[in-house]
Amino acid sequence: MMQDHMAGDREAFLPGQLWTDTEGNRIEAHGGTMYQENGVYYWLGEDKSHTSKKGKTWTWGIRIYSSTDLYNWKCEGHIIEPEPQDKRSLFHPNRRLDRPHLLRNPKTGKYVLWVKYCDKNHYAVLTADQVTGPYTLVDPFLKPYGHESGDFDLALDAEKGDAYLYFEADHETLLVAKLNREFTNVQGEAGVVYDVRKPPLTREAPAHFMRNGKHYLITSGMTGYCPNPTEIAVSDDWMGPFVVLGDPCVDDSSSASFNSQPSHVFRVEGTDTYVMMADRWVPDYVMTKERYDTLYRVIYSRVDKTLHPSVKDVIALAKAPLMGSADTSQALYVWLPFTWEGDFPKLYWQETWSL
């Protein structure tokens, strides 16, 4: 049974449990990211409150929350309001708007917000003068280098004031590119983090973070809303090359990132604590090693002809919450701290933990 504390009195993280804001409402910030400024943390993500398994609503805008302790979150409203009356709008709830990421550009003073659209595989870019908005659309349809563009992350070089984009391209590769001065497009040549792979081995949901001068990139495989194994890669430079370290999840009986998918990694200010933010998109669909192996056999048999999935395997895939068949309105959050073994970040399951 899921539990929750009274609004405003949390003193610990409870991975996989219901999380409500200071008004007692379910937090709606899925596929989220963290932005920190002046001692305040801002958590923004997808509002899935109107999503249903059979409905067409994908995302009900983008919400933003604020906190000073990371446990208790005040809803600051939508930074992207849904526009259900305008079917041509980028922000109509039927558009498959995903995974917002936010940076403040130190050169222009603007807050720059990127969002992904997985219906036409492109990004939209918006800017604002304040972190909570209002945001103005700068580019409604951006495909870096002409690629079909998927999950992504933005990363800031605080010393130089530059920014980088890590993104999945064409459902095959994971690329990195430097952004232009305004942080609204890419410039120069792209670097390759992962070369051509096919689902479910394609790497998506990239989350970049730095520690002791090293660049880490945590990614998931590609199986829709079904969780799958996470992987960590490391580099000495923003643009790579990256070396794969392996799966950071220790004693993970789900064989799938503790039954979740990462969205962002952030460092707690003034500490050496790095936190992985992740989503348990469909809590009722509990991943196991056997279940993942089944999905793998069916999906990857399109590439590897030595795999021979059974009829039972194919039926299991058909019943899995891949994309349109997933009810993400009940999605939960899994936040876990990294434990360091030398330069290798590891994740251990914890029912409860605190800073």
Contact of 58 with 126, CB cutoff 8 Å: no
For residue 204, being part of any structural domain is answered with: yes
> What domain range includes position 74?
30-285+321-347
DSSP 40: E
Please give the model's pTM, rounded to 2 decimal places. Answer: 0.95
For residue 297, being part of any structural domain is answered with: no
Question: Tens of pLDDT along 232-285?
Answer: 999 999 999 999 999 999 999 998 999 999 999 999 999 999 999 999 999 999
Question: Tens of pLDDT along 146-170?
Answer: 999 999 999 999 999 999 999 999 9
Please, which residues bridge with residue 191 across strands? 176
How far apart, in Å, are the Cα atoms of 47 and each of 162, 282, 330, 331?
30, 15, 11, 10
Question: Tens of pLDDT along 175-184?
Answer: 999 999 999 9
Q: Which SS3 state, helix, strand or coil, does residue 220 take?
A: strand
Contact of 250 with 32, CB cutoff 8 Å: no
Q: What is the pLDDT of residue 9?
A: 87
Question: Tens of pLDDT along 87-137?
Answer: 999 999 999 999 999 999 999 999 999 999 999 999 999 999 999 999 999
Share of the chain above pLDDT 70, in %: 98
For residue 182, being part of any structural domain is answered with: yes
For residue 94, being part of any structural domain is answered with: yes
Q: What is the pLDDT of residue 8?
A: 61
> How many domains are contained in the chain?
1
For residue 25, being part of any structural domain is answered with: no
Q: What is the pLDDT of residue 4?
A: 44
Question: Tens of pLDDT along 276-298?
Answer: 999 999 999 999 999 999 999 99
Q: What is the pLDDT of residue 2?
A: 37
DSSP 13: B
For residue 294, being part of any structural domain is answered with: no
Q: What is the pLDDT of residue 326?
A: 85
Contact of 93 with 84, CB cutoff 8 Å: yes
Q: Is the pLDDT of residue 145 over 80?
A: yes
d(CA 321, CA 284): 10
* Rounded average pLDDT over 22-43: 97
* Rounded average pLDDT over 51-55: 78
Q: What is the pLDDT of residue 1?
A: 33
- The mean pLDDT of the chain is 94
* pLDDT confidence band for 36 (50 / 70 / 90): very high
* pLDDT confidence band for 5 (50 / 70 / 90): very low
Contact of 125 with 142, CB cutoff 8 Å: yes
For residue 81, being part of any structural domain is answered with: yes
For residue 2, being part of any structural domain is answered with: no
Instruction: Residue 35: give its domain's CATH number.
Output: 2.115.10.20
Q: Is the pLDDT of residue 323 over 90?
A: no
Question: Tens of pLDDT along 187-236?
Answer: 999 999 999 999 999 999 999 999 999 999 999 999 999 999 999 999 99
